[in-house]
Amino acid sequence: MAIGLYSAGIIGTGSYLPEKVITNKDLEQIVDTSNEWIVKRTGIRERRIAEDCQATSDLATNAALLALEDAELTAKDIDLILIATSTPDMPFPSTACIVQHNIKAENSAAFDLEAACSGFIYALNTAHQYIATGFYKNILVIGAECLSRITNWKDRRTCVLFGDGAGAAVVSRVKNGYGFLSHYLGADGSGAAALNVKAGGSRMPATLETIEQNYHTIYMDGSEVFKFAVRIMSTAAEEALRLAGLEKESIDYLIPHQANIRIIENAAKRLNLSMAKVFFNIDKYGNMSAASIPVALDEAVKSGKIKKGDNVCLVGFGAGLTWGSSILKWHK
């Protein structure tokens, strides 16, 4: 049964990771940390960092072209480009407009959407609405980040966690019974203080002092976010399952946001899922915020872990605070 007039699903995926690798050993040279601490507390072993000449749109463009190829579409077939990012190239124009120009998607509208690490789920939900009503036929949904640009490389509590990358998905009409079965989104702005970048917006424009104070980099109350994350990951997935009329046992594959392996393991346990049904690549890439889920999805699909007819659950959480989950019946 379609939600709306038409069923919508993901017909192609792509991802791009910068080549430059920073290992935990490299970080030991920069801050007072150790490979053992990082692996034990987070599961992260290394992360990718964009070259100085690369911006978020460059990563997004590469991922977008691969997703188009996978979907067997050309850029001209795309009606809308939607980019979830917290690290746009600049405040405006949107990174989506820059990608639209790069890939020559001349028939496409373009805008960015910001919901931090939940951004890709929010963007999928948005794309789904346009397809379900028949307003658009093909939408390029991208999660892309250069978190290295807003990381405080002197703060060991945060700099070990993040990485850069981009993942893309083409959302289009699919056969009834396949594609998105439900979405569940949520937000709690009262938690904004736990995870934020304080300066650079209209509240606190850039000054010499904001730069000196590192207010342009990520601030995180790690334990507050951790407690929120372990609760919300399973709750959001359960709500999406309920909306799809499915039980926990119906999940064939879980693609969680990659923030901390302990958060992922905890979510799997609460959902009664064996880790064999859970995708993780946090060891290779760290937390890439809005890019984590689409990169993980692309790697899961391309490695044959997701098969036609599988019920796939995507679930994430992030600054805002925000959270979201989507359930899809995979159709390819």
Residue in 29, 190, 223, 274 binding ligand ACO, rule: CB under 6 A: 223
Strand partners, 166: 16, 144
Residue in 15, 42, 62, 126 binding ligand ACO, rule: CB under 6 A: 42
Whichever of 148 and 260 has its CB closer to ligand ACO, that residue is: 260
Please report, as residue ranges, which positions from 309 to 328 form the binding site for ligand ACO (by CB under 6 A).
Answer: 318-319
Both tokens of 127, joined, read 């794309």
Whichever of 14 and 256 has its CB closer to ligand ACO, that residue is: 256
Whichever of 97 and 161 has its CB closer to ligand ACO, that residue is: 161
Tell me the number of residues near ligand ACO by CB under 6 A: 25
Q: Is 37 in the site for ligand ACO (CB under 6 A)?
A: yes
Q: Report the C-alpha gap between 172 and 71 in whole angstroms.
A: 9
C-alpha neighbours within 13 Å on the C-beta side of residue 318: 30
Q: Which stretch binds ligand ACO (CB under 6 A): 49-57, 122-130, 180-188, 259-267?
A: 259-267
Residue in 116, 168, 199, 271 binding ligand ACO, rule: CB under 6 A: 116
CB of 184 to ligand ACO, least distance (A): 19
117 as an active site residue: the answer is yes
Q: Is 222 in the site for ligand ACO (CB under 6 A)?
A: yes
Three-state helix/strand/coil letters over 152-207: CCCCHHHHCCECEEEEEEEEEECCCCCEEEEEEEEECHHHHHHEECCCCCCCCCCC
Both tokens of 261, joined, read 């392996």
Q: Is 29 in the site for ligand ACO (CB under 6 A)?
A: no
For residue 321, cis peptide bond before it (omega within 30 degrees of 0) = yes
313 as an active site residue: the answer is no
Of the listed 138, 146, 159, 257, which one is catalytic? 257
216 as an active site residue: the answer is no
Q: Decide: 326 and 175 in contact? Cβ < 8 Å.
A: no
Q: Is 104 helix (H, G, I), strand (E, B) or coil?
A: coil
CA angle 11–294–318, rounded 5-degree value: 140
Residue in 235, 260, 292, 326 binding ligand ACO, rule: CB under 6 A: 260
Whichever of 64 and 194 has its CB closer to ligand ACO, that residue is: 194
Length of the chain: 332
Q: Report the C-alpha gap between 84 and 76 in whole angstroms.
A: 21
Whichever of 44 and 73 has its CB closer to ligand ACO, that residue is: 44
CB of 95 to ligand ACO, least distance (A): 16
Return the active site residues. Answer: 117, 257, 287
